[in-house]
Amino acid sequence: MTINRSRRMRTRHPAADEVILPRDYRLQFATCYAYSPKGDSEISQRSRQLCARVKNGSTRWLRTYVASVYKEVSQQRRFCGFFNEHTLLVPIPNSPWSTRTSFWVARRLALTLREAGLAEDVWTGLRRVSAVERSSSAWMWERPTVQQHYRSFAVIPSPRPPTEIVLVDDVITKGRTLVAAAMRLHEAFPKADIRAFALVRTMGFILDVERLFDPCEGIIRWNGNDAYRDP
Query: How does pLDDT run across 66-109, given as a tens digit for each residue?
Result: 999 999 999 999 999 999 999 999 999 998 776 554 589 999 99
pLDDT 10s digits, 127-177:
999 999 876 555 555 689 999 999 999 999 988 899 999 999 999 999 999
Task: Tell me if 80 sits within 8 A of 115, measured CB to CB.
Answer: no
Mean pLDDT of the chain: 89
Whole-number Cα distances in Å, 15 to 18, 121, 145, 149, 150: 5, 38, 18, 18, 16
The proportion of the chain whose per-residue pLDDT surpasses 70, expressed as a percent, equals 86
Tell me, what amino acid is at 129? V
Q: Walk me through the domains of the chain, giving residue ranges and CATH numbers.
A: 25-230 (3.40.50)
pLDDT at 222 over 70: yes
Query: Can you give the pLDDT at residue 95?
Result: 82
Report the alpha-carbon angle 146-95-181, nearest 5.
35
pLDDT of 19: 72
Cα 83 to Cα 110: distance, rounded to the nearest angstrom: 11
CA dihedral 162, 129, 118, 61 (to 10 degrees): 180
* pTM passes above 0.85: yes
- d(CA 57, CA 60) in angstroms, rounded, equals 9
CA proximity to 29, closest of 175, 184, 223, 190? 175
Region 14-43: mean pLDDT is 87
Alpha carbons within 13 A on the beta-carbon side of 189: 24
